[in-house]
Amino acid sequence: MKCFNCNSDFHWARSRPCATERNTLYSHDFRGDEEEVQITMMESDNGLDDKIDVLFGETIGAMILDLGCSKTVCGVRWFELFLETLNEMEKKVVYEKSTSFFKFGDGKRMPSIKRAVIPCVLGAKYISIRTDIVACNIPLLLSKASMKKAGMEIHKH
């Protein structure tokens, strides 16, 4: 996709002002380093509920690595569906009070209902994940701090 105003590949008109001096910062030709990337963009709520449900359904029992997320968080629906996948021994989830608030793409502040410590298998490790639970339809978003604590490394090429 290109900027509507200046036809640049490196930004969109809505997110950055178009200025010639700013565009000179991006002098590297990335066309030789092409790779296929899938991006899902949703602009409005009209008629997208079914598509969102399909995308959401793909995340049950999985997590999204979210480097922009300050704390690990999930939605109530994801959490309830995740609990259904656990056996009786694994269902010993620890609940805690939470006073955290989260802000997502729409800019609205969403209070945490509670916090839970849930069992997880990450690679070959059995770990526990502490996540806040909010009243919206989002999957488990694993924060950068949680990734670091688990010893994860993300290599950029």
pLDDT in tens, 16-34: 555 443 433 444 444 455 5
Mean pLDDT throughout 137-142?
89
* Residue 115: per-residue pLDDT: 95
Q: Say how many CA atoms lie within 13 Å of 92 toward its Cβ.
A: 2
Contacts of 154 (CB under 8 A, 6+ apart): 65, 67, 147
Structure tokens at 37: 């990337």
Q: Say how many CA atoms lie within 13 Å of 138 toward its Cβ.
A: 23
Q: What is the mean pLDDT of the chain?
A: 74
pTM: 0.62
Domains assigned to the chain? 1-39 (no CATH), 49-149 (2.40.70.10)
